Structure 1
C-alpha cells in the first residue's frame, strides 16, 4: 500500500506535473486532450482542478487570471487542431485502422453525442472524457460552419476551464493547510470523479450492445 501511494504521489506530485516542464507542460496537456486524437487518455479535468489548487496555494507561480486565460487559449487551439484534422481526413477517418491511440468507436461515440446535442456538443462535451477529444474532430468531418464552430469552441473552453479551475482555486483558498496535507487524497478523488462519465458511457454502450445481440 505504501508503494502504491509513493507511485501515485510520483505521478501526481505538483513538482512532477507542474514544476517539471512547468506551466507550459500543463498547457500542452490541455491542448492535446482537446483536439489530438491520441490525447483522449490525458487527465484534463483533474489537472484543471489541480492547477487551481496549486495556484491558490502559490505552488504554481502564476496569477489566476493568467492561468485561466492561458488554459482557455490552449483549449480553444486544441479544438481548432481537432477540427482541422477532421476536416482534412473527412469520412476516411472512419476507415482508419485502429491502434492503441485510435478507436473507431470513439468517433462513433462523438457522432452520437453530436447528433443528440448539435453544436452544444462542443460545449457539453468538454465535461466528458473522450467526447472532449473527438467532438471537434467529428465537427471537422461533417464540416460544421467555421464561424459557428468558433463560437461554441470559445464558449465551451471558457465554461470548462473556469468551472473546474476556479473550483480548485476557491477550494485551495478556503482550505490551504488541509489541501497541502491531503493533496494526494484529493488528487485520487479527482481521478475517480473525472473517470465516472467515461465509466457511465462505457457501461451504457456495453448494455446497449448486449441488448441488441
Structure 2
C-alpha cells in the first residue's frame, strides 16, 4: 500500500534514487527526471502527477514527459521509489487525460489568441506549424500520436479545441492516448526495471531512459533539418501551415469546419465569352 511513511522512508535518506549517478538528459539539471523526483521528497507521487498535468494541460512544453514516466516506473520496480505501481499509473492516466481536457477547453475559448502570439522564450510559432502538420498527416489520430512527440503533445489538444473537433471523438482519442502514454510508458519502465540484467546493470537502464527521452526529439530534429535543407521550412516555420487560412484548411479537412480566422481571398469569376474576365 502507498503511504506517506513509505514514501518518506524511500526518499528521506541521503542516497540518490539512482545510485549510478545523475541521468544525462537534455535540458538543465533541475529538469532531469530523477532530480525532480528527489526534489519532491515525500510528495514525489503528487509532484510526478503534477508535472504530467502541467505539461499536457497548461501549455508548458519543456517539462520532461516520456523520460519522467519511464524513470518513475523503473524506480518503483527497483524499490527506490516505494509507490504502488497501479496507484501511480491510475493517477498518471488521470493527469494525462485531464491535462488534454483542459488544453482542449483552452483551445475552444481562447485558442486563436494563444496561437497568434509572437515568439517568446516558451512559445514558438514553429511548434504550432508542426502541430498542424501532424493533424494534416494523421487526422484526428494526432491526439494519440502526439502524446509521444515533444511539443506537439502540448499543442495538439489546443489545436483540436481551436478547430472544434467533435468532443466525443476528442474524448475517445484522449482516453487511448492517456492509456498508451501515461500508463504504457510508465509500465515499460516498470517492466524493464524488473529485468534481472538491468537491475544488476543500472547503467544500462540509464541508457535506455536516455534513449526513450531523446529518440523522439532526435527524430523531430532530423525532420526539421531535412525540411530546412530542402527549403520546406524557413527558420523552422513550415510555409504550408504558417498562415491562418492554411491552418483553417486543415481544420476543415480534419474537423469538418474551421475556427481559425482566415485571410480574405479575392473573388474568382468565370471568364466571359471572349476569354476575358467578367467585370
TM-score scaled by structure 2? 0.66
Tell me by how many angstroms 1:20 deviates.
5.5
Q: Distance in 1 between matches of 2:36 and 2:157?
A: 30
Helix, strand or coil at the partner of 1:62:
coil
Q: Distance in 2 between matches of 1:64 and 1:83?
A: 28
Give structure 2 stretches of 5+ with no counterpart.
1-20, 235-279
Q: Which of residues 72, 79, 83 in structure 2 aligns to 1:62? A: 83
Alignment of structure 1 residues 4-153 onto 2, 5 Å: 11=32, 12-13=34-35, 16=38, 19=41, 21-38=43-60, 40-153=61-174
Q: Distance in 2 between matches of 1:205 and 1:14?
A: 29
Q: Which of residues 179, 182, 188 in structure 1 aligns to 2:202? A: 182
In structure 2, relative to structure 1, the CA distance for the partners of 1:206 and 1:174 (3 Å cut) is closer
In structure 2, relative to structure 1, the CA distance for the partners of 1:174 and 1:76 (3 Å cut) is same
Which of the pair has the greater relative contact order for Cα pairs under 8 Å at 6+ separation? 1
Equivalent pair of 1:23/1:60 in contact (CA under 8 Å): no
Aligned residues between the structures: 206
Q: Distance in 1 between matches of 2:49 and 2:106?
A: 20
Match of 2:179 in 1: 158
In structure 2, relative to structure 1, the CA distance for the partners of 1:15 and 1:110 (3 Å cut) is closer
In structure 2, relative to structure 1, the CA distance for the partners of 1:6 and 1:27 (3 Å cut) is closer
Tell me by how many angstroms 1:78 deviates.
0.8
Tell me by how many angstroms 1:199 deviates.
2.4
Q: Distance in 1 between matches of 2:169 and 2:111?
A: 18
In structure 2, relative to structure 1, the CA distance for the partners of 1:162 and 1:90 (3 Å cut) is closer
Normalized per residue, the structure richer in helix is 1
Match of 1:208 in 2: 227
Equivalent pair of 1:106/1:131 in contact (CA under 8 Å): yes
Equivalent pair of 1:17/1:25 in contact (CA under 8 Å): no
Equivalent pair of 1:34/1:78 in contact (CA under 8 Å): yes
Backbone CA RMSD of aligned residues: 2.5
Summarize deviations over 1:169-189 as a string: whole Å, max 9, x none. Answer: 12222238x537626x63354
In structure 2, relative to structure 1, the CA distance for the partners of 1:173 and 1:192 (3 Å cut) is closer
Tell me by how many angstroms 1:137 deviates.
1.2
Match of 2:8 in 1: none
Tell me by how many angstroms 1:45 deviates.
0.5
In structure 2, relative to structure 1, the CA distance for the partners of 1:192 and 1:173 (3 Å cut) is closer
Structure showing greater radius of gyration is 2
Tell me by how many angstroms 1:131 deviates.
1.3
Tell me by how many angstroms 1:74 deviates.
0.4
TM-score scaled by structure 1? 0.85
